[in-house]
Amino acid sequence: MKSAASYILLLLSLLTSCSGRHTSSGSLQPDSLRVAIIFYKKLWTTQDLDSAQWYAGLACRYLSKEDRKSQVHFAVASRYMDAGKPEQALIYYEKAGEHPDAWTQGRLCEIVPGLYAGMGRYADAIHWLDSARSGRTSRSVIPYYSLAKGNLFTMIGQPDSARHYYEIAAHSLNRWVAETAFRRLKLLYALKGKDSLACTMALNADKMLKEEIMNAEFAENRANYEREKMQNELNRLKIDKQRREIMLLSLGLGFILIVFLSYFLLQRRKRQANKLLLQEKTIHLEQAQQLLEQAEELTLLREKESQLRESLFRRMKSFHKIPSLEESKEEEPENSGQRIALSQEEWEDIRQTVDKSYDNFTQRLQQSFPSLSEKDINFCCLVKIGVSIKDLSDIYCISRTSISRKKQRVKRDKLGLTVEDETLDAFLRRF
C-alpha cells in the first residue's frame, strides 16, 4: 500500500510539474514531457529491476529539470525497497537527494536516516540529515528534518537530544509531523515515569497546535480574501479603462471613416462625370476583343483536341468494329442485329485510349466511385466516346431498352446521381 501511494503521489507530482512551463528548455519539445511520463509509468509496472533502471534512464533523458529527475530516482529507490534491497535503494535515494523538490526532500528525511540506522551507520545518518538541513530549498522541509533527527537520536539512546528535536517538530504547522512528534514525546516521558507530565504536555501541545492552525488558516483566508478583493478591483479598473479606450477609438475611427467616405464619394462623382462614357466604350471594345480572341483560341483548341482524339480512336483495334465511331459511315439499319464481340485485349485498348484522350478518365472515375466494377468502367468508356445505343445493344447482346435501363442503373446505383434532368451520357461527357 505504501509503495502504491508513493507511486500515485510521485506521478501526480511529476504531472503537475510537467504541466507548467513547457518552453523553459530550448532543447526539449513539449511532447518530451509526455514521453518521460510514459517511461516513468513503465518504471513502476515492469517486474524486472534492471528494466526499471533502464526506463528511469530514458525518463531522465527527456526531462530538463533536475527536481523532476530526482522524483524518477526516488521511484527507482522505492522499487528496490519493495524488493528487499535497501543497499541498492540507498544509492538511488542519494541521487534523489541531489536536487530534490520539497515533497521529495521531506520523504527522504523520513526514509534515508532510518536506512542508515538500520545498517548501524548512525554517523552517516546524522551527516546526511545535517547536509539536507543546510541544503534545503523550502521551509516545508524543516519539520521533516526535525522529526527525523529526533527519531535518530532515539535509536542511538540519546533521549534528551531526541526530545529537543521532537519539541521543534511538535510546533510545526505540518499536522502529520506535529501529531507524530506529540506521540513520540509522550512515549519518551512515559518511559521516564512521567505519565502525567506527558499527558499535560500532549494536551498543551495539542491546544497550541490547534490555535496555530486556526490562526494560520484565518490569516490565510483573510489574505486570500483581501487579495481577491484587490484583484477584483484591479480587474474592474482595467475593464473600465478598456471600455473608455474602445469608445475613444471607435469615435476616432468613425470620424475618420466619415471624412474618407465623403472625400471618396466627391472624387468618384467628378471622375464619373468626366470619364464615364470614355471608360464604357473602352471597356466594351476590350471585352469584345478579348471574347473574339478567346473564341478563336477555343475553336483552335477544340479542333486540335478533336483531331487528336480521332487519331487515337482510329488506332484502336476495335474502331472499325463499332459503326457509330466512324462519322463518315452511315448508321446501319436498326434491324441489322449483328453481334459485336470485343476481346479482353480490345477492352484494355479502349480503356487506355480513353485515358489518353480524357486525362485518365477511368482512374478518376474509379477514385470518385469505388463501387464501379471493371465491366461498369468499360460501359462508361463506351458511353464517354459516344457509342450509340444500337452499337451498345450489339456489344452486350441485349435490347436497346435494356441498354437504357442499364444506363439508369449505373447512374442511380453506382454513381449515386439523383438529378433527373441530367442523363448518364451528359454526366460522363463533362466528367
* pLDDT tens-digit readout, 60-70: 887 877 777 77
Least confident among 27-31, 51-55, 426-430: 27-31
pLDDT at 22 over 60: no
Cβ atoms of 331 and 362 closer than 8 Å: no
DSSP state of 92: H
Q: Where does the pLDDT of residue 265 fall: very low under 50, low under 70, confident under 90, or very high at 90 and above?
A: confident
Cβ atoms of 149 and 167 closer than 8 Å: no
pLDDT at 25: 39
**If you average pLDDT over residues 255-270, what whole number do you get?**
84
465491366: which residue's cell? 375
**If you average pLDDT over residues 353-382, what whole number do you get?**
89
Q: Where does the pLDDT of residue 71 fall: very low under 50, low under 70, confident under 90, or very high at 90 and above?
A: confident
pLDDT at 380: 92
pLDDT at 305 over 60: no
Question: Where is pLDDT greater, at 336 or 418?
Answer: 418
pLDDT at 329: 44
Residues of the chain with CATH 1.25.40.10: 2-19+28-225
Q: Per residue, what are the HEC states of 355-393?
A: HHHCCCHHHHHHHHCCCCCHHHHHHHHHHHCCCCHHHHH
User: Which of the four CATH numbers 3.10.129.10, 3.20.20.100, 1.25.40.10, 1.10.1740.10 does domain 2-19+28-225 have?
Assistant: 1.25.40.10
Cβ atoms of 25 and 61 closer than 8 Å: no
pLDDT at 21: 40
**If you average pLDDT over residues 365-389, what whole number do you get?**
89
Q: Where does the pLDDT of residue 266 fall: very low under 50, low under 70, confident under 90, or very high at 90 and above?
A: confident
Least confident among 104-113, 206-215, 348-357, 401-410: 206-215
pTM above 0.75, yes or no: no
Cβ atoms of 141 and 105 closer than 8 Å: yes
Task: Please tell me the total number of residues recorded for the chain in this structure.
Answer: 431
Cβ atoms of 377 and 351 closer than 8 Å: yes
Find the helix or strand (DSSP H, E) in which 288 lies: helix 195-315
